[in-house]
Amino acid sequence: MAIDATFWVAVSFIIFFGALIYLKIPQKISGMLDKMISDIKNEIDESEKLRTEAKKLLDNSQKKLDKAQSVSNEILENAKKDADRLIIEMNDKFHKSSEIKKNLAENKISQMKEAALKEIKDASIKIAVDSVKKIITTSVNKSKLDAVFQKNLDETKAELKKINS
């Protein structure tokens, strides 16, 4: 039998595996792999916990956001109602104020009109009395004049009382 290179490769292969088994390398590799698997499982479990926590936080944040949104909508709705109510109140006050001012202006105009009519009547009466005086003094004698004057004066007084009443 000739010992060739294949034989020596087989022998060295068996010695190599024997040395690996003697030094417990496969068990060490297995232990390292088990430890790595355990570490990976721990990391996966930790990440699962973190994911669950993050989901809870997200749900809580979403609830808070929804609540804040509903509160802000409620505040906006109340503000709109208050603004509408204030607009209506201001509009009513404006119309009442303008109505009062209109009534005051109409009363003042009416008073001014009455005062102007009274002044015109007074002036007309004075002019009429003066005119009658001149006519009577120039055309009638003194006794008739006194009688007519007294008569006219009484009539004028009566008319003035009617007008003032």
pLDDT tens track for 10-20: 889 999 888 87
Residue 41 included in any domain: yes
Mean pLDDT rounded to a whole number for the chain: 86
Residue 63 included in any domain: yes
Instruction: Quote the pTM value.
Output: 0.42
Longest dimension (CA), the chain: 196
Give the pLDDT confidence of 41-72 residue by residue, as tens digits.
999 999 999 999 999 999 999 999 999 999 99
Residue 49 included in any domain: yes
What's the total number of domains in the chain?
1
Local confidence band at 131 (pLDDT 50, 70, 90 cut-offs) = confident
CA angle 73, 63, 48 (to 5 degrees): 155
CA Rg, the chain, in Å?
A: 62
Structural domain boundaries enclosing 15: 5-118
Residue 86 included in any domain: yes
Local confidence band at 141 (pLDDT 50, 70, 90 cut-offs) = low
Residue 109 included in any domain: yes
